[in-house]
Structure 1
């Protein structure tokens, strides 16, 4: 494995006051920028609630130099990147991720839109309606309202208790005072002295520095301003409060006058508070059957203040449960406080904070650097942690229970004593059930002959790798069995994530899928443990079903997206028994895909896969059959807002169709957003994208609206598709060439992040495409002509096989209710 670059970024301050963080990460395939403004919703004038959030929205509406169709959002979409922004209490963040060749243009647009917004009054009126629709959705979202309700116990004078989202009534655009306040807020805070720009990418450090200096210099010169300090979180003499609703207990602890280093100290404390390992607080609550889960997080931290939240999902409705939990929390805190300077935990914390950085995306690294995140508990952090614990327990507790002990070390954070031997898989026989070597995969033109395909699409000398395993069940699983298995994997998922490996176990239709992606070295050990827990669960697995988590329902569009991804699963009618699980694994057939793994890791995986349950099967991947019907799937949910997803698949499985659909998807994004969100103002949740499901590539259109009916939304979408060919004919040759090249570049293996490549190659495997799918698709995109894409847009309107997911009933012909 190649050596990692130094974990600390390069820091400097430009002449205009802009603080710059630069990180050269040669292993990355993409680059990212994150710009953090030290001004948020709590810094806006109290007379105009939501002004800071409103300004964040307005900044994306184009400038004189870059109108909206040429602005940052359009640029990032056209390059296949991602971007977002968010307004927090004391900061506003703007961030995007792009291919390296597109970074300069993206950074130029970002700095221009922050420095020279138009703030046109007509734009303000339209965007205020979008913000109002977002406010309505927020006010109906139970999770958002529950989060806001957590602050009910705070002092009424603290800004956390105030309304900051903004809506039609709080943003008085006609008021001269509002317009002056908007201009002044931008002038005071959107200047270089209040900003930190973080750039991360594979480019040399000097190139990143040149970009930061060139475009950062366009921001107005300024000095850093002290943000006003808030009043006390709680009335004098009060340090905490609690809320109890059904079987959810929320414990909140307020801190004042904390020293520097409080943020990492609180994160350190939360890490061990919510640890599920034996001897910890959660294990103690579970053993007493008081709670099934515990989550600890810092809800707020600024100017020496902090608010710590413990969410406990209780296992009982007993009247004394809350008091027992609070007592045990205090007892554990006494034990934790007595552990000196926590040398073992500090070493473990440094490892688990640094390990995921080795496989973090450019965007994640840029956001982390812009916030100046500390990844260890240094001497300053130790002093801050002791101050935190002193406020939690003013009186030292020395008679705590003897049951507590420090958590065991994460087994995946350290290399095994015996490193895997290099070379091809040793002694490969039929017992390996279909595992093949790179040597056997030299000929890409022949059909796949093994159940686990070791792809050569990406090099194997990087930091990370991916493994996807699928089991096709011979019969429906008993009710609740998958959920029980998923619950049993929770501790393993946590340990794996800390070690830089993301693990998921999903069900979709007839299939169960296990996916591992991340750092190469721990992958075999994580897989071994996962297979053991899935096939040989502990005796406690068959005891009483775990109580369902107390989760607030998702907003409608997110519920539809989850259903689209997961797909319905057939389940049996009776509870699962030991024999049922054994029979399911014995009768299952499996296949899979591995990517980015060097020979030594392949060998280690080969030894683990000898214990793979089920039978290897090369025939599971059959291209989906084309359908002529239009299916409507109604999902139950909150009908306060109407939401739908429309999936329009390609007419066939050939790569020419997929190439045309992908270019159509790229060309659709900006005009679809502009038409339905900006012009028609249907709502703030409006998007279009290319998605793949079961090997099918298609265009996915999504809309959630607080005012339009499902029929009206669908009519607008269909009208857009009808007008699409005419829109495409208005595009000039230079634009066509630019878009085609930008799309083709996204499928160059040398520029693909591994996780994205794994998903694309898996979908290609499901569709029956050859091993050189990426190369062929790249060539097919470059070969596209405008006439071919315009013809594809016409076919799109007439094609069948559309699937629509909605939170309302089927309207009838031509739609058919999905079975």
Structure 2
């Protein structure tokens, strides 16, 4: 089988005997393997009498199959071996995907195939899972993007499924009815067969072995033929402007375009257009709208696409002036689209687009590559440039010649409308007239980090605070970490927000260049992280350092508008927002997040003067040490090898983040730090966390049905390490959630104490064997080394923990479980609710 070392070479599609379509991506430089299975059927293919049936089935498939009970199914297997997995039901397809260390790949693949081909679909499990979907429905009913798309659907022809409701809830999923069960099993038989399935496999296996695995998959799936239902015509029934009432989110403005009967290359053309719509480059649309005081951000997304029809949305977050001049903002975007459709911009913009896509593929993990290549818009070295250019011309001609739908989503009061799905408060309104502006648009500046080459040479000497860790990554990637601590007390959080604001365009540009750039405040330190294409990192670092040392004055002005306070957004999942806040709340002894004080350049200068920094470089070639050392010469602060060991105390702290009125859910994180910073303690808690994970999920999500967002895992936040539990519930209070967690920990501890067989030596050995990151997995290796240094350990700390795991005895797990239950290392709760009693500080 022919293979290519070119990451932009589109993998060929093979058709196996029973109809299964396969793409294979051999990746010799990876220690991970991944699978993505796409069933070409989704929510629009489900019976209209049962909205949500397709999504419901996706959930049910994880609840046990013929050869693998739920406790030994795909989810616990992949998570237990340090992998990642998920599933997604869209309008016309359903995806199941996972990534796992390559040695476990076949066992995971067999579990995936069995759950798709032979699910149990147990009636009692269906009843429990319906409650989970009902909770998810309530959460999505507060999601801004979901509600905006539902509002746009009200302007479409009612015969088209885009105008309908497909999420599902308790009322639309009558699992007790025989007719529903017939529909559920019928949908599974019709679509979960080889003719409807596309399978993509990636990993370090040889092409021949990957093909054998694909043929194994084909043998496990029933044969069948492709069934591609025709969608009715997609058209608007109403033109003009809509308004949607959203009370707890930042106002947004959407311009929606409807396409039907367009060219085959239209999805690729929209992807190309989206890169330039969202560009943060000087002279680009986003930058000019921001400088005009109209808009903070702009992006293009495609909420629906099937065959030759779809809906594309340009979504903006207006500033105050933009809210007042919405028609001018809409007119500006349409005017820019006319400008950008001119042929003179194509050659250089197309070349940059190719460089961006190629660079991102160079650094993508196996699963990310599969998720890229499965999409119809994916650019590859074989893409039809002329066809994409013609499709772009047709699209831009259509969007500029016909009036779009314009949706304003803000807190303006609107009437409740009759709908079978998500509750909507909306109205149609008259179109506004713009104030015409001569914008004098420019072609976005080219990204210098895409094509610049660094002069390689070895450094004569590296700063003592920079640890250099090999070996060189075979895929040409590297990772650089920096941490600043402050000897003159903690800096104002407003300073961090100012710097975070000023590097936002750099984050975007670095991503284009194949480097993930992250700047975090963890309460007692600032962290800078650059991972990806090694050759670009020194240049990016040098430019970031210059911005950190002397940010423009506007950064401090803008900061006051964007700094986080105790307000939770209504457009992002509560648990995710709490997880984002937790690291910086673990440092100082605070009980809430307060609005930061306005900062200025003088305060920043003073802060840098009392800063000390420490760093780690992983995976770079030796001749990259010179460019990195040169960039670090301008780094603010002093180079000091600091001891970061943290001593935890058995205090119970409750940290509250203010909730917003219309939100009904309660979210709670319980973080339990290690009681001792030793390899032995960490080994016991890591193995204990693996035992807890599945049991906690089953108890609180499946049995108690508290909500669809439930998890537990071993985690590190800044320099603090421990086990974190998370629950988001539409029905339980914070006090009730905490009671359920405490009850679970007590019962689990009793089980360990009474039954020594509950301690699995095999689990401990497997944890030891997989704990030390593979040398070929740069991201995992770099992250593990950095976490060790952050916790005050040496880089070889993971090897010490692995050795301690191999020596674990049953009483070690029992003692760890008791220490966890009692909060020997302290408990920290972060919630959108107040503490239930005075026992919490």
Question: TM-score surpassing 0.5?
Answer: yes
State whether residues 80 and 743 of structure 1, in contact with CA within 8 Å, keep that contact through their aligned partners in structure 2.
Answer: no
Which among 366, 387, 391 is matched to residue 384 of structure 1? 391
Q: What SS class does the counterpart of residue 634 from structure 2 fall into?
A: coil
- In the other structure, the counterpart of 1:779 is 803
Q: What SS class does the counterpart of residue 22 from structure 1 fall into?
A: strand
Cα distance change, pair 278–108 in 1 and its aligned pair in 2 (3 A): same
- In the other structure, the counterpart of 1:706 is 730
- In the other structure, the counterpart of 1:643 is 667
Separation in 2, partners of 1:212, 1:501: 32
Cα distance change, pair 21–469 in 1 and its aligned pair in 2 (3 A): same
Cα distance change, pair 744–8 in 1 and its aligned pair in 2 (3 A): farther
- In the other structure, the counterpart of 1:530 is 544
Following superposition, the deviation at residue 672 of structure 1 comes to 1.3
Cα distance change, pair 325–223 in 1 and its aligned pair in 2 (3 A): same
Which among 626, 637, 641 is matched to residue 648 of structure 2? 626
Following superposition, the deviation at residue 42 of structure 1 comes to 0.7
Matched, 1:798 2:822: yes
Matched, 1:811 2:824: no
Matched, 1:194 2:202: no
- In the other structure, the counterpart of 1:371 is 375
Separation in 1, partners of 2:350, 2:528: 32
Q: What SS class does the counterpart of residue 155 from structure 1 fall into?
A: coil
Matched, 1:403 2:470: no
Following superposition, the deviation at residue 568 of structure 1 comes to 6.6
Following superposition, the deviation at residue 704 of structure 1 comes to 1.6
Which moves more between the two structures, 750-759 or 96-105?
Answer: 750-759
Q: What SS class does the counterpart of residue 593 from structure 1 fall into?
A: strand
Alignment size in residue pairs: 786
Which moves more between the two structures, 596-605 or 709-718?
Answer: 709-718
- In the other structure, the counterpart of 1:443 is none
The CA deviation string for residues 82-109 of structure 1, in whole angstroms up to 9 with x for no partner, is 1111111111010111010111011001
Matched, 1:577 2:600: yes
Which among 699, 720, 736 is matched to residue 744 of structure 2? 720
Unaligned runs of 5+ in 2: 404-435, 589-593
- In the other structure, the counterpart of 1:502 is 516
The CA deviation string for residues 341-372 of structure 1, in whole angstroms up to 9 with x for no partner, is 81221111111011011111121112223335
Matched, 1:108 2:133: no
Separation in 2, partners of 1:686, 1:573: 31
- In the other structure, the counterpart of 2:33 is 31
Cα distance change, pair 553–188 in 1 and its aligned pair in 2 (3 A): closer
Following superposition, the deviation at residue 542 of structure 1 comes to 5.2
Matched, 1:420 2:442: no
- In the other structure, the counterpart of 1:616 is 639
- In the other structure, the counterpart of 2:430 is none
State whether residues 143 and 554 of structure 1, in contact with CA within 8 Å, keep that contact through their aligned partners in structure 2.
Answer: no
Following superposition, the deviation at residue 400 of structure 1 comes to 11
Matched, 1:301 2:274: no
The CA deviation string for residues 178-226 of structure 1, in whole angstroms up to 9 with x for no partner, is 1111111111111111111111111111111111111332111011111
Which among 527, 530, 535 is matched to residue 516 of structure 1? 530
Within-5 A mapping of 1:297-336: 297-317=301-321, 321-336=325-340
Cα distance change, pair 475–501 in 1 and its aligned pair in 2 (3 A): same
- In the other structure, the counterpart of 2:421 is none
Cα distance change, pair 732–35 in 1 and its aligned pair in 2 (3 A): farther
State whether residues 100 and 202 of structure 1, in contact with CA within 8 Å, keep that contact through their aligned partners in structure 2.
Answer: yes
Following superposition, the deviation at residue 374 of structure 1 comes to 2.1
State whether residues 335 and 400 of structure 1, in contact with CA within 8 Å, keep that contact through their aligned partners in structure 2.
Answer: no
Following superposition, the deviation at residue 701 of structure 1 comes to 1.2
Q: What SS class does the counterpart of residue 329 from structure 1 fall into?
A: helix
The CA deviation string for residues 438-475 of structure 1, in whole angstroms up to 9 with x for no partner, is xxxxxxxxxxxx3121234x544442111111112324
Within-5 A mapping of 1:424-435: 425-426=459-460, 428=461, 435=462
- Normalised to the residue count of structure 1, the TM-score between the two structures is 0.90
Cα distance change, pair 572–722 in 1 and its aligned pair in 2 (3 A): closer
RMSD: 2.7
Following superposition, the deviation at residue 536 of structure 1 comes to 1.7
Matched, 1:470 2:483: yes
- In the other structure, the counterpart of 1:49 is 51
Q: What SS class does the counterpart of residue 648 from structure 1 fall into?
A: strand
Which among 543, 567, 570 is matched to residue 585 of structure 2? 567
Q: What SS class does the counterpart of residue 82 from structure 2 fall into?
A: coil
Which moves more between the two structures, 762-771 or 105-114?
Answer: 762-771
Following superposition, the deviation at residue 375 of structure 1 comes to 1.6
Q: What SS class does the counterpart of residue 8 from structure 1 fall into?
A: coil
Separation in 1, partners of 2:15, 2:7: 22
Unaligned runs of 5+ in 1: 429-434, 437-449
- In the other structure, the counterpart of 2:422 is none
Cα distance change, pair 269–79 in 1 and its aligned pair in 2 (3 A): same
Separation in 2, partners of 1:162, 1:776: 56
Separation in 2, partners of 1:362, 1:734: 35
Separation in 2, partners of 1:659, 1:459: 29
Q: What SS class does the counterpart of residue 217 from structure 1 fall into?
A: helix
- In the other structure, the counterpart of 1:440 is none
Which among 72, 75, 78 is matched to residue 73 of structure 1? 75
Separation in 2, partners of 1:369, 1:202: 18
Following superposition, the deviation at residue 662 of structure 1 comes to 0.6
Separation in 1, partners of 2:809, 2:257: 62
Q: What SS class does the counterpart of residue 455 from structure 2 fall into?
A: coil
Separation in 1, partners of 2:552, 2:669: 41
State whether residues 34 and 96 of structure 1, in contact with CA within 8 Å, keep that contact through their aligned partners in structure 2.
Answer: yes
State whether residues 267 and 298 of structure 1, in contact with CA within 8 Å, keep that contact through their aligned partners in structure 2.
Answer: no
- In the other structure, the counterpart of 2:162 is 160
State whether residues 31 and 103 of structure 1, in contact with CA within 8 Å, keep that contact through their aligned partners in structure 2.
Answer: yes
Following superposition, the deviation at residue 728 of structure 1 comes to 4.1
Following superposition, the deviation at residue 415 of structure 1 comes to 3.7
Q: What SS class does the counterpart of residue 451 from structure 2 fall into?
A: coil
